[in-house]
Amino acid sequence: MTTFEQVPVFQCEFEDDRTGLSKETIKRALADNLFYIQGKVPATATPNDYYMALAYTVRDRMLQRWFKTTEVYTKKGVKVVSYLSAEFLLGPHLSNNLINLGIYDLVRQVVEESGLDFVQLREIEEEPGLGNGGLGRLAACYMDSLSTLEIPAIGYGIRYEFGIFDQEIRDGWQVEITDKWLHLGNPWEIPRLEETIEVKFGGRTEAYYDEKCRYRVRWIPDKVVKGVPYDTPISGYNVNTVNTLRLWKAEAPESFEFQAFNVGDYYGAVNRKVVSENITKVLYPNDELMKGKELRLEQQYFFVSCSLQDMIRLHLQKGESLETFHQSFAVQLNDTHPSIGVAELMRLLVDEYEIEWDQAWQITQNTFGYTNHTLLPEALEKWTLSLFKNLLPRHLQIIYEINQRFLGQVRAKYPNDSDRLARLSLIDESGEKYVRMANLASVGSHAINGVAALHTELLKRDVLGDFHELWPEKFSNKTNGVTPRRWIVVSNPLLANLITRKIGVDWISHLEDLKQLEAFIEDAEFRREWRQTKQDIKGYLATYIKENHGIEVNPESLFDVQVKRLHEYKRQHLNVLHIITLYKRIKDNPNIEITPRTFIFGGKAAPGYFMAKLIIKLINSVGDVVNNDPDVRDRLKVVFLPDYNVRFGQRVYPAADLSEQISTAGKEASGTGNMKFAMNGALTIGTLDGANIEIREEVGEENFFLFGLTTEQVYELKSKGYNPWDYYHNNPQLKQVIDLISSGFFSHGDTNLFRPLVDSLLYHDPYMLFADYQSYIDAQDQVNQAYRDQEHWTRMSILNAARMGKFSSDRAILEYCQEIWNAVPVKIELEEYIQGRA
Ligand code: GL7
Residues of the chain with pLDDT > 70, as a percent, come to 97
581 is an active site residue: no
d(CA 40, CA 36): 8
- pLDDT score of 228 more than 50: yes
Catalytic residue chosen out of the listed positions 534, 565, 647, 696 = 565
d(CA 548, CA 552): 11
* Greatest C-alpha distance within the chain: 92
Q: What are phi and psi of 385, to 5 degrees?
A: -60, -35
Using the mean position of ligand 1's atoms as its centre, give its distance from the Cα of residue 193 in Å. 33
Catalytic residue chosen out of the listed positions 65, 326, 676, 696 = 676
pLDDT band at residue 260 using 50, 70 and 90 as cut-offs: low
Q: Whose CA is nearest to atom 17 of ligand 1?
A: 134
**Any idea what DSSP says for residue 664?**
P
**Any idea what DSSP says for residue 557?**
S
Q: Which of 130, 374, 566, 644 to mutate to test the pocket of ligand 1 (most atoms within 8 A of CB)?
A: 374
pLDDT band at residue 4 using 50, 70 and 90 as cut-offs: very low
- Provide mean pLDDT across the span 535-552: 97
Note the helical H segments in 180-228: none
- The answer to the question of residue 758 being in a domain is no
- The answer to the question of residue 760 being in a domain is no
More confident residue, 144 or 832: 144
Q: The dihedral of CA 81, 82, 85, 90: what is its sign?
A: positive
Catalytic residue chosen out of the listed positions 137, 564, 567, 696 = 564
Q: Which of 87, 89, 135 to mutate to test the pocket of ligand 1 (most atoms within 8 A of CB)?
A: 135
- The answer to the question of residue 427 being in a domain is yes
676 is an active site residue: yes
729 is an active site residue: no
- The answer to the question of residue 552 being in a domain is yes
**Any idea what DSSP says for residue 687?**
-
* CA 480 to ligand 1: nearest atom: 10
Residues 450 and 396 both lie in one domain: yes
Using the mean position of ligand 1's atoms as its centre, give its distance from the Cα of residue 668 in Å. 7
Q: Which of 371, 373, 565 to mutate to test the pocket of ligand 1 (most atoms within 8 A of CB)?
A: 373
Q: What is the pLDDT of residue 2?
A: 38
- pLDDT score of 13 more than 90: no
Residues 431 and 537 both lie in one domain: no
Predicted confidence (pLDDT) per residue in 678-716, tens digit: 999 999 999 999 999 999 999 999 999 999 999 999 999
Q: Which amino acid is at 531?
A: R
d(CA 343, CA 520): 55
Q: Is the CB of 233 under 6 A from ligand 1?
A: no
Residues 435 and 560 both lie in one domain: no
- The answer to the question of residue 604 being in a domain is yes
Q: Is the CB of 134 under 6 A from ligand 1?
A: yes
Q: What is the pLDDT of residue 561?
A: 99
Q: Is the CB of 189 under 6 A from ligand 1?
A: no
346 burial class (0-12, 13-18, 19+ CB within 10 angstroms)? Answer: buried
Residues 274 and 404 both lie in one domain: yes
Give yes or no for a contact between 99 and 485, defined as CB atoms under 8 angstroms apart.
yes
Using the mean position of ligand 1's atoms as its centre, give its distance from the Cα of residue 587 in Å. 39
373 is an active site residue: yes
Predicted confidence (pLDDT) per residue in 362-395, tens digit: 999 999 999 999 999 999 999 999 999 999 999 9
Q: Whose CA is nearest to atom 14 of ligand 1?
A: 288
Q: Is the CB of 451 under 6 A from ligand 1?
A: yes
Catalytic residue chosen out of the listed positions 394, 395, 570, 578 = 570
Q: What is the pLDDT of residue 271?
A: 86
Using the mean position of ligand 1's atoms as its centre, give its distance from the Cα of residue 679 in Å. 19
- Residue span of the structural domain in which 665 resides: 498-506+524-708+773-804
d(CA 249, CA 234): 19
Using the mean position of ligand 1's atoms as its centre, give its distance from the Cα of residue 669 in Å. 6
Q: Is the CB of 288 under 6 A from ligand 1?
A: yes
Helix axes 134-148, 809-816, angle to 10 degrees: 80
Residues 606 and 680 both lie in one domain: yes
pLDDT band at residue 315 using 50, 70 and 90 as cut-offs: very high
Q: Is the CB of 669 under 6 A from ligand 1?
A: yes
Q: What is the pLDDT of residue 253?
A: 86
Using the mean position of ligand 1's atoms as its centre, give its distance from the Cα of residue 290 in Å. 14
Q: Whose CA is nearest to atom 9 of ligand 1?
A: 135
Give yes or no for a contact between 605 and 634, defined as CB atoms under 8 angstroms apart.
no
Using the mean position of ligand 1's atoms as its centre, give its distance from the Cα of residue 132 in Å. 9
Predicted confidence (pLDDT) per residue in 573-591, tens digit: 999 999 999 999 999 999 9
Nearest to 188 by CA among 249, 231, 136: 231
Element (H, E) at 82: strand 80-84
d(CA 376, CA 367): 27
Strands (E), 575-676: 597-602, 636-640, 658-661
pLDDT band at residue 757 using 50, 70 and 90 as cut-offs: very high
Q: Which of 670, 693, 694 to mutate to test the pocket of ligand 1 (most atoms within 8 A of CB)?
A: 670
Using the mean position of ligand 1's atoms as its centre, give its distance from the Cα of residue 374 in Å. 6
pLDDT band at residue 267 using 50, 70 and 90 as cut-offs: confident
- The answer to the question of residue 117 being in a domain is no
Residues 374 and 467 both lie in one domain: yes
Give yes or no for a contact between 247 and 130, defined as CB atoms under 8 angstroms apart.
yes
Q: What is the 3-state secondary structure (H, E, C) of 344-401?
A: HHHHHHHHHCCCCHHHHHHHHHHHEEEECCCCCHHHCCEEEHHHHHHHCHHHHHHHHH
- Reduce the DSSP state of residue 626 to 3 states and report it: helix
493 burial class (0-12, 13-18, 19+ CB within 10 angstroms)? Answer: middle
Give yes or no for a contact between 51 and 30, defined as CB atoms under 8 angstroms apart.
no
- The answer to the question of residue 702 being in a domain is yes
Give yes or no for a contact between 557 and 639, defined as CB atoms under 8 angstroms apart.
no
Using the mean position of ligand 1's atoms as its centre, give its distance from the Cα of residue 134 in Å. 5
Q: What is the pLDDT of residue 14?
A: 56
Residues 412 and 539 both lie in one domain: no
Q: What is the pLDDT of residue 488?
A: 99
Q: Whose CA is nearest to atom 4 of ligand 1?
A: 671
Catalytic residue chosen out of the listed positions 336, 672, 687, 711 = 672
Catalytic residue chosen out of the listed positions 61, 373, 382, 485 = 373
DSSP letters for 222-251: SEEEEEEEEEEEEEPTTSS-EEEEEEEEEE
Q: Is the CB of 336 under 6 A from ligand 1?
A: no
Residues of the chain with pLDDT > 90, as a percent, come to 94
- pLDDT score of 9 more than 80: no
- pLDDT score of 79 more than 60: yes
Nearest to 250 by CA among 347, 341, 161: 161
**Any idea what DSSP says for residue 496?**
H
720 burial class (0-12, 13-18, 19+ CB within 10 angstroms)? Answer: exposed
Residues 597 and 470 both lie in one domain: no
Using the mean position of ligand 1's atoms as its centre, give its distance from the Cα of residue 567 in Å. 12
Q: Whose CA is nearest to atom 12 of ligand 1?
A: 373
- Provide mean pLDDT across the span 434-438: 98
Q: Is the CB of 283 under 6 A from ligand 1?
A: no
- pLDDT score of 289 more than 50: yes
Using the mean position of ligand 1's atoms as its centre, give its distance from the Cα of residue 505 in Å. 31
- The answer to the question of residue 785 being in a domain is yes
- Provide mean pLDDT across the span 470-484: 99
Instruction: Supply the Cα-derived Rg of the chain in whole angstroms.
Output: 28
Residues 432 and 569 both lie in one domain: no
**Number of structural domains in the chain:** 2
Residues 643 and 540 both lie in one domain: yes
Q: Is the CB of 668 under 6 A from ligand 1?
A: yes
Residues 203 and 281 both lie in one domain: yes
At residue 381's C-alpha, the angle toward residues 646 and 130, to 5°, is: 20
Q: Is the CB of 379 under 6 A from ligand 1?
A: yes
- Reduce the DSSP state of residue 463 to 3 states and report it: coil
Q: What is the pLDDT of residue 254?
A: 73
Q: Is the CB of 480 under 6 A from ligand 1?
A: yes
* CA 335 to ligand 1: nearest atom: 14
* CA 371 to ligand 1: nearest atom: 10
Give yes or no for a contact between 344 and 304, defined as CB atoms under 8 angstroms apart.
yes
Strands (E), 256-324: none
- Provide mean pLDDT across the span 740-750: 98
764 is an active site residue: no
Q: What is the mean pLDDT of the chain?
A: 96
Note the helical H segments in 708-768: 711-720, 724-730, 732-742, 755-763
Q: In this structure, what CATH number is given to the domain that contains residue 575?
A: 3.40.50.2000
At residue 362's C-alpha, the angle toward residues 359 and 363, to 5°, is: 90
Q: What is the pLDDT of residue 701?
A: 98
- Provide mean pLDDT across the span 159-177: 98
pLDDT band at residue 838 using 50, 70 and 90 as cut-offs: very low
Q: Is the CB of 696 under 6 A from ligand 1?
A: no
Using the mean position of ligand 1's atoms as its centre, give its distance from the Cα of residue 660 in Å. 16
Helix axes 453-461, 692-699, angle to 10 degrees: 140
Residues 456 and 584 both lie in one domain: no
* CA 138 to ligand 1: nearest atom: 9
Q: Is the CB of 661 under 6 A from ligand 1?
A: no
565 is an active site residue: yes
